[in-house]
Structure 1
Amino acid sequence: MDTEFWHSRWAENRIGFHLDDTNPKLIKHWPQLNAGRDDVILVPMCGKSVDLTWLATKHDKVVGIELSEIAVRAYFSEHFYTPLVMPLGNGQSLYEFDELSIYTGDFFQTRIDPVDAVYDRAALVAMPAEMRQAYADKLLSLVKPGGRILLITLDYPQPEMDGPPFSVTADELQSLFPGCELTLLERDEADETHPRRQRGLSRFAEEAWLITV
């Protein structure tokens, strides 16, 4: 992952990946994780996602990790929250407000206590192929045994479009998360009116996966 690429995207406000509304797949499939109010939830590479706010209504502790401090500041500003900010050294800071704790800095260098559940909409698909195993290994190291991951992926012919976001196939997921139970919750196949299809993709699908560690 090219950190400068993502820093520049946020600095220039080129954030087409950001959704202004809560992801419908999060609302639809989160109950299948059976996460309790006391469970700690991790959102890797969270940006300024409003999904954080939705999760904070369901759980007492939601932890985000985000490379761009611009994104984290924007999240709190846009929600009129005033967080407590604690410098952690090595270019990292911790922003805290009620149920939310967001760490700024490199995901691979961030240390947190193990969590009960994970919501990943835009992290794995942002990773080039050569970094996905390292990402999956790091993610699994942060999840308690028996923990659950709600993972949103994309499936399209990679040669037809440059990422990110990248295509991640079901076969690749099996190799990235060995020993885990993977369940396909939904496959949403786009028709010809979808913006990605109109850009020339022969097919494009969004998938929701439940991964049990």
Structure 2
Amino acid sequence: MDKEFWHRKWASNRIGFHMTEVNPLLLEFWSALSPQREEQVLVPLCGKSEDLVWLASKHDKVIGVELSEIAVRSFFSEHFYTPLVTQIDSFHHCYEFDELQIYQGDVFTAPLDGVELIYDRAALVSMMPSQRDAYAQRLRTLLKPGGRMLLITVDYEQTELAGPPFSVGSQQIQQLFQGMKTTLLCRKEADPEHPKIAQQKLSRFADEVWLIEA
């Protein structure tokens, strides 16, 4: 993850990856985790996602991690939330409001405890290939025994387009989470009108939804 790349994205408001509504794949497949209200949810690289609000309506504690201070402050201001802000160290701040707790800082070093549930929509696919192993290991250490993760990835011919989001195929998912149970819940192939096909001329593009179980 190139930190300066993402800081520049947020500073210039070039955030085409941000969804203004709750991700429909989250709505459709979150129940596959058999989630319980008391189970804590971690959302790495959460940005200012509307998914946080939806998850907070279902769980007693939702923990986000986001590098950009602009994104974190925008999330709370756009929802008219006034968070309690605590400086953890020189590199991390914690923003808290009701069920929500967002750490502003590096997902690799944020002071996180183990959780039962992880929701990753845009984190793994934003990691450069050289960082994926370290990131997957970080998730492994944070997921409690018996924990579950809903992971959303994209699959396309990487030579046709420079990421992010980067293509992460099924074979790499198996490698990254070797020893854990990996289940492909859904693969949604893009039709010819999809922007990735129509505008960026990719030969194929698909969203994949994975259930990863510790």
| Alignment correspondent of 1:170 | 170
Cα offsets for 1:63-116 (capped at 9, x unmatched): 000000100000000000000000011221000000000000011111211000
Letter aligned with residue 159 of structure 2: P
> For 1:40 and 1:90, how far apart are their aligned partners in 2?
26
Quick one: distance in 2 between partners of 1:21 and 1:184?
24
- Equivalents in 1 of 2:113, 2:89: separation in Å? 18
The residue type paired with residue 17 of structure 1 is F
Q: Matched residues in 2 for 1:105 and 1:192: separation?
A: 39
**What's the counterpart of residue 128 of structure 2?**
128
Correspondence for 1:211? 212
Task: Kindly report which structure 2 residues correspond to 1:67-86, keeping only aligned pairs within 5 A, or say none.
Answer: 67-86=67-86
Name the TM-score, length of structure 2 as normaliser: 0.99
Show the counterpart of 2:54: 54
| Residue matched to 1:99 | 99
Which aligned pairs between 1:1-213 and structure 2 lie closer than 5 A?
1-198=1-198, 199-213=200-214
Indicate the SS of the match to 2:108: helix
Q: What is the rounded CA distance, in whole Å, between the counterparts of 1:144 and 1:21 in structure 2?
A: 29
Q: Distance in 2 between matches of 1:63 and 1:90?
A: 20
1:204, distance to aligned residue in structure 2 (A) = 0.2
**Separation of aligned partners in 1, 2:77 and 2:90:** 24
Alpha-carbon distance between aligned partners in 2 of 1:90 and 1:110, rounded to the nearest angstrom: 11
Cα distance between partner residues in 1 of 2:153 and 2:50: 19
Structure 1: segments with no counterpart, 5+ residues: none
Give the Cα separation in 1 of the matches to 2:140 and 2:103.
Answer: 18
SS of the residue corresponding to residue 14 of structure 1 reads coil
Determine the C-alpha separation between the residues in 2 that align with 1:172 and 1:133: 10
Instruction: Provide the identity percentage.
Output: 58
CA distance in 2: counterparts of 1:184 and 1:91, whole angstroms: 36
Task: Work out the CA distance in 1 between the residues paired with 2:70 and 2:181.
Answer: 36
In 2, the alpha carbon distance for the partners of 1:151 and 1:33 equals: 11
What one-letter code is carried by the residue in structure 2 that aligns with 1:211? I
Query: C-alpha distance in 2, partners of 1:35/1:205?
Result: 26
